[in-house]
């Protein structure tokens, strides 16, 4: 198993190393060897040093790995001449067709919950963000901004049948898998079909694909109403599928409901390649201070193991993912995970070390139960 590892900028280095440590421990306890890593230099710091946002040949090497793991990329003080951030990961999305952006949103006990309603403790949903088209089509390698003159810029919002069909099929299959694991399994199409022809097309394709999945319950919501409903009643949703920019915004909103971006795991999946990363930024204000919450990166590593279990047909990798997810659940239930992000007393290393202990404890409990 080969992982392309891009630690990136700021706290990306710290959280990537934390995630790898926990991943390797979970693999060891399930009888799997540690992955082979191809570490690739990329990011704003690398750009400042070399003028390149990713090392020569780095994109090609990333595509040869079984999966890509990314810490965080970008530094506010280092930008292109036009003011945009250094963002080679957007180009990786485009190059490898990583259309399915999976953003789990889950409430944990003893973690901050921003809503007073007791039902907020049961928030457990997934935002599925199309990651290569939509309004982000104007970014990455396309540079499709249309500068009419010095007074106006227009960006392109692109929806294609090919990519959107794949996205919706992924969404229906995800909803079906979640129902098999005890979740409601309802899929909600989030769009602005009442205003934009492009998003009416997005909904049209959703309805076409729906006929292939008669067992999956569906719903519809305009994006502004969905933003309201994520504050009013997020516990009523399970899987939400949407355009790129809508997913970028709503996944951050949803992350705020369950503590913050330090819990925001992310997988970006295409037909042959998957990239996994915490959805937060590089937080240069706390880089090197042992304050970052590594849980988003660690949970992203668990997502990567689940993906690789299916891709490589190795169920033991899914067992390792379960160990990580179970350790996070147990850690919050027992209040032994107290990240500084939540006002706790545990920095990056302390949270990581506690999870390493919990992963070991989980396997010991499993062995005891099966004896």
For residue range 224-266, what is the model confidence (pLDDT) as tens digits? 999 999 999 999 999 999 999 999 999 999 999 998 899 999 9
Query: Is 198 in contact with 192 (CB distance < 8 Å)?
Result: no
- Asked whether the predicted pLDDT for residue 137 surpasses 50, the reply is yes
- 271-318 per-position pLDDT tens digit: 999 999 999 999 999 988 999 999 999 999 999 999 999 999 999 999
pLDDT score recorded for residue 148? 56
User: Which residues partner with 79 through β-bridges?
Assistant: 85
Assign 31 to helix, strand or coil: coil
Q: Over 221-240, what HEC string results?
A: EEHHHHHHHHHHCHHHCCEE
User: Which residues partner with 124 through β-bridges?
Assistant: 106
Query: Is 175 in contact with 214 (CB distance < 8 Å)?
Result: no
Give the residue with greater pLDDT, 163 vs 139.
163
> Which tokens belong to 126?
């997934």
Domain 1-101+266-371 fold is Isopropylmalate Dehydrogenase (3.40.718)
Q: pLDDT > 90: what percent of the chain?
A: 84
Please name the helix (run of DSSP H) or strand (run of DSSP E) that holds residue 36, with its range, or none: strand 36-39
pLDDT score recorded for residue 156? 85
Residues of the chain with CATH 3.40.718.10: 1-101+266-371, 113-257
pLDDT score recorded for residue 365? 46
pLDDT tier at 363 (50, 70, 90 boundaries)? low
User: Which of 253, 145, 272, 164 shows the shortest CA–CA distance to 209?
Assistant: 164
What dotted CATH number matches 113-257?
Answer: 3.40.718.10
Average pLDDT, rounded, for the chain: 93
* Phi (first) and psi of residue 173, to 5 degrees: -65, -35
- Asked whether the predicted pLDDT for residue 371 surpasses 50, the reply is no
- 173-229 per-position pLDDT tens digit: 999 999 999 999 999 999 999 999 999 999 999 999 999 999 999 999 999 999 999
- Asked whether the predicted pLDDT for residue 369 surpasses 70, the reply is no
Which DSSP string corresponds to 96-114? Answer: TT--EEEEEEE--TTS---
pLDDT score recorded for residue 154? 80
């Amino acid at each position: 198993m080969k992982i392309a590892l891009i630690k990136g900028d700021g706290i990306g280095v710290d959280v990537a190393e934390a995630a790898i440590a926990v991943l390797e421990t979970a693999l060891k306890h399930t009888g799997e060897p540690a992955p082979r890593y191809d570490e690739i230099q990329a990011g704003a710091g690398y750009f400042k040093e070399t003028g390149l946002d990713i090392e020569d040949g780095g994109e090609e090497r990333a595509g040869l790995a079984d999966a890509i793991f990314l810490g965080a990329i970008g530094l506010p003080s280092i930008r292109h001449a036009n003011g945009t951030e250094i963002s080679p990961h957007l180009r990786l999305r485009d190059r490898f067709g990583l259309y399915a952006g999976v953003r789990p949103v889950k409430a944990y006990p003893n973690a901050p919950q921003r809503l007073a309603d007791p039902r907020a403790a049961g928030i457990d949903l997934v935002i599925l963000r199309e990651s290569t088209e939509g309004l982000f089509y104007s970014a990455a390698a396309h540079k499709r901004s249309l500068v009419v003159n010095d007074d106006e810029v227009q960006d392109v919002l692109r929806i294609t049948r090919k990519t959107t069909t794949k996205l919706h099929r992924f969404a229906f299959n995800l909803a079906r898998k979640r129902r098999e694991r005890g979740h409601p399994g309802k899929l909600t199409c989030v769009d602005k079909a009442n205003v934009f022809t492009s998003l009416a097309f997005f909904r049209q394709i959703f309805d076409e694909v729906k006929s292939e999945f008669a067992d999956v319950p569906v719903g519809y919501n305009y994006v502004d109403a969905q933003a309201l409903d994520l504050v009013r009643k997020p516990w009523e949703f399970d899987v939400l599928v949407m355009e790129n920019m809508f997913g970028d915004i709503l996944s951050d909103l949803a992350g705020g409901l369950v503590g913050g971006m330090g819990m925001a795991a992310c997988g970006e999946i295409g037909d042959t390649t998957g990239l996994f990363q915490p959805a937060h930024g590089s937080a240069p204000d706390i880089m090197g201070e042992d304050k970052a919450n590594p849980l988003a990166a660690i949970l992203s590593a668990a997502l990567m193991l689940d993906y690789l279990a299916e891709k490589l047909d190795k169920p033991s990798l899914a067992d390792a993912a379960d160990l990580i997810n179970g350790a996070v659940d147990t850690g919050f239930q027992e209040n032994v995970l107290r990240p500084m992000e939540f006002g706790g007393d545990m920095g990056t290393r302390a949270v990581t070390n506690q999870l390493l202990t919990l992963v070991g404890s989980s396997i010991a409990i499993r062995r005891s139960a099966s004896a």
